[in-house]
Structure 1
Amino acid sequence: MKKCLAFLAVAVLVACFCVFPVSAQGSQDVLVSRTEDVLDNGDSVVIELYESAAQLRTGKNGYKTLTYYNSGGSAIWAVTVNGSFTYNYGVSSTATGASAVVEIFNSNATYISKNAYTSGNTATATCTVRYNTVSTTRSVSVSCDKYGNLY
């Protein structure tokens, strides 16, 4: 019995000093805003802005996703702009990086092109997708104000 307790105590101590990897995806990004626009043909576009959970003291990271839905409510494709920003609180902000990610959810949709760029305090992604023989180009932008707020 003493050997069993001693072994258990040693095992607990070893476990306490072990370092286990932790995934950064365990932390949840924060949904800042969500808008929906219904188009004339019945399709809709949903735009969601997220602020990354981990932030630098004088910087911000966030992303905005535009998802295109058909009139039946099924997602067809999405474009996401990932933006990184620096800001001097109350004085200025600058976009320091932009990247674009395009996702296709429907077999009738085809990715054609994408582009990402920064201008001032804004990161923008533009993509073109063909769906049912119609090509559509959409842009989505995320900006940071001089107080570190994303919009």
Structure 2
Amino acid sequence: MNWYVVYTKPKWEKKVAEQLLKKGIECYCPLTTVVRQWSDRKKKVKVPLFNSYVFVQLAEGDRNLVFQSIGVVRYLFWLGKPAIVKGEEIDTIKKWIKEPDSYTVSVAVFQVGDKITLESGPFLNQEAIVKEVTNNHYVLVLESLGCVLKMNYNR
């Protein structure tokens, strides 16, 4: 079975995931903890990592079942077909969320355009291309995941 990306109404990600789970549809809504500040207090809250997206794992023929849940808008499409996310990519996101906020990173001297393989952290063994080099950070493009990673470091 494939993982698909469901687009939801704004701020409905957790509600949609809960409804899908109640219907027996395997889904994943990655959440991250952030500190929100109000005028009188600060509070840690769990917010979706991807706004308006929930990942669902279903057979091709069962794709219409998600529309029985309130808040589901449509599937995300890529090149005219429903976008399919690899299981390894879902596992990488899960692993990344479980990891602590800081990592020990040893940095060699890289140049823009170098192709490297990450040796630690949640993106272990992922290939990346060095996009930018400054005195205190690298910007890496992880093409297989379709994301950009900024790594801070101290020289």
Q: Could you say which TM-score interval applies, normalised by the shorter chain?
A: under 0.3
Taking CA–CA contacts closer than 8 Å with sequence separation of 6 or more, which of the two structures ends up with the larger relative contact order?
2
Bigger helix fraction: 2
Bigger strand fraction: 1
Question: Rg bigger for which structure?
Answer: 1
TM-score (norm 1): 0.27
